[in-house]
Amino acid sequence: MSTVHEILGKLSLEGDHSLPPSAYATVKAYANFDADRDAAAIETAIKTKGVDELTIINILTNRSNEQRQDIAFAYQRRTKKELPAALKAALSGHLEAVILGLLKTPAQYDASELKAAMKGLGTDEDTLIEIICSRTNQELCEINKVYREMYKTELEKDIVSDTSGDFRKLMVSLAKGKRSEDTSVIDYELIDIDARDLYDAGVKRKGTDVPKWINIMTERSIPHLQKVFERYKSYSPYDMLESIKKEVKGDLEVAFINLVQCIQNKQLYFADRLYDSMKVRWTKEGLVS
């Protein structure tokens, strides 16, 4: 358990999301990087009696995702073996899961986590929500591509088969990665219209026009929505997060809250997720973001 916490302590909140799925979790590129030297050191660590786990941790947690891919390639060239397979045989438990996660590209990690979340009976909604709600258009496009390559099926198809109702509609809309990215012009009129529409569709009326919320929150650009949520407070006695808690429940409530938090401040969202995950016992590796 302590080695897993040591790994997390070495990872800074700042770039891509190689472990675990997070748009901001990675380490900076190592300045004196030598893939062959690192591959040789990892090979020696694996062969050491009892396995030299600290060497493996120190190398992989201090390299960027791209550098870790280079190490894996150098290891395969050096030993004629795949590095993930070698580490899987040498390690176990949470440490194995974390280290193997580090060796995946961000899209591979996200795709595998999404598949696991929808595999078998029941659905791990927390993982589904965290990944789908927090990724950019470009990241979602790559996730869809990798998911298709890895599992020979469409991500959207699996989401549809494993979810239902308005929660399904929200997840599918986000997974398409079609959010507007035009930030060249601030449309104050549309900001006001969207803010009023969010209020009219929720707090102002009896019941909630969820499709209206979904359309606005999945189609508008992030900078636009940040301004919409500020403008929203001039119409509603509650802010957007408070309104969500009053209007919807269950997985849909959790999804909307995660989405709004990501829109407002994605760095803070992941920092909070990491902090919360460190306060609980490790019951599943995929919870940390």
Give me the half-sphere count of Cα atoms (radius 13 Å) on the Cβ side of residue 177: 16
Give kind and range of the element (H or E) at residue 286.
Answer: none
pLDDT value at 287 more than 50: no
pLDDT confidence of residue 52? 97
Tokens of 230: 């500020």
pLDDT confidence of residue 6? 56
pLDDT confidence of residue 191? 98
Q: Measure Cα distances from 25 to 83, 163, 202 in Å.
A: 22, 28, 34
Residue pointed to by tokens 């062959």:
36
- Fold classification of 2-104 is Annexin V; domain 1 (1.10.220)
Q: What is the pTM of this model?
A: 0.84
Count other Cβ atoms within 10 Å, centred on residue 115: 15
Q: What percent of the chain has pLDDT over 90?
A: 80
pLDDT value at 289 more than 80: no
pLDDT value at 280 more than 90: no
Alpha helices in 120-239 (DSSP H): 125-134, 137-151, 155-162, 165-175, 188-200, 210-219, 222-232
Q: How confident is the model at residue 5 (pLDDT cuts 50, 70, 90)?
A: low
pLDDT per residue as tens digits for the range 187-215? 999 999 999 999 999 999 999 999 999 99
Q: What is the mean pLDDT of residues 149-173?
A: 98
SS3 13: strand
pLDDT per residue as tens digits for the range 98-134? 999 999 999 999 999 999 999 977 789 999 999 999 9
Q: Are 83 and 91 in contact (CB under 8 A)?
A: no
How far, in Å, CA of 244 to CA of 56, rounded? 44
pLDDT value at 84 more than 80: yes
Q: Are 107 and 139 in contact (CB under 8 A)?
A: yes
pLDDT confidence of residue 179? 96
